[in-house]
Amino acid sequence: EDELVEKMKDLGDFDHNDQSLRVVTLLEKKYIKWDGLNLAWETLEGIIKHNGPLINSGGIDKALPVTLAALQNETDFELNGYASLEAQIAGLADDIAYNNHDVEDGINAGLFEVEDIAELALFKEYYARITNDHPNLEKRRMVFELVRELIGAMVEDVLKQTSLNIDALNPQSADDIRNAGRAMVEFSPLMLENLGELRDFLYERMYKHPDVLRMCYGARRKMGAMFDAFMDEPRLLPLDWQDEIKEGGDRFETARVVCDYLASMTDRKAVEEYSKIFS
């Protein structure tokens, strides 16, 4: 992603969230009469406002991403408001899954140990109880049990805090949620503080670990090399992707197709494609 952002900096830009919107509104071609998946306004709104409002009450303070800008010209997505309650729940569920999977992946990769996270406020109580009740529990089951406990605690915390927020607002319509001026679905202040400690830990012990940085550096090099190769010779692209480049199209249009193709790849597909081109 970082490499695509850099390569597209002067060619129309790349934004991760906007690319998701691009997939469901333009790149998926399933129907005869239109491109995209024909999603409801509310569903698109949830994707667009995944991280909250995109503009403040004073108006747009920076250019909108390319796909959103085009959609906003056709349909008003009320970018200064929050998403629906359902979309806010989906957004926070993503955070819950992301953090817990990173803990599990970090331990399984040997970047840190169970005993390391046991010192964090989020895990301390559960670790003490599990080790007391099951003193000889194998590491694999310990990891699963800790993650299961934390997911449950985070979900219960969200439910409790969200109920308090809704009771205080007393909304009478979906628009009351959108115009509340704050997210209704959120963690409690204590949970946010503890999650901050976890994120700091993961940043230092996982995201900035030498093994992870080396892997990311190699991935950026591969992605950048493929971008340059496809831009220099678009006929290296698969035939169906070549068809997306309009005859007489300029460098900006070619770059967008190349970017779409690279962004569509899984990690494994990207490694295979790099090998086909350069090995």
pLDDT, tens digit only, all 279 positions of the chain: 889 999 999 999 999 999 999 999 999 999 999 999 999 999 999 999 998 999 875 555 578 999 999 999 999 999 999 999 999 999 999 999 999 999 999 999 999 999 999 999 999 999 999 999 999 999 999 999 999 999 999 999 999 999 999 999 999 999 999 999 999 999 999 999 999 999 999 999 999 999 999 999 999 999 999 999 999 999 999 999 999 998 877 899 999 999 999 999 999 999 999 999 998
Encode pLDDT of 212-224 as tens digits. 999 999 999 999 9
Q: Given CA atoms 48, 16, 192, 58 in this order, what sign does their dihedral have? A: negative
What 8-state DSSP symbol labels residue 64?
P
Encode pLDDT of 139-176 as tens digits. 999 999 999 999 999 999 999 999 999 999 999 999 99
Distance CA 124, CA 271 (A): 39
Rg (CA), the chain: 22
Distances (CA, A) of 100 to 1, 103, 147, 268: 22, 5, 6, 23
Residues, the chain:
279
52: phi > 0 → left, psi -120 to 50 → alpha, else beta; which?
Answer: left
> Which residue is listed with tokens 């301390």?
124
Give pTM, 2 decimals.
Answer: 0.87
Phi then psi for 38, rounded to 5 degrees?
55, 45
Selection from 167, 160, 166, 169 nearest residue 188 by Cα: 160
Instruction: Mark 12-37 as b/e (b = at least 16 C-beta within 10 Å).
Output: eebbebbbebbbbbebeeeeeeeebe
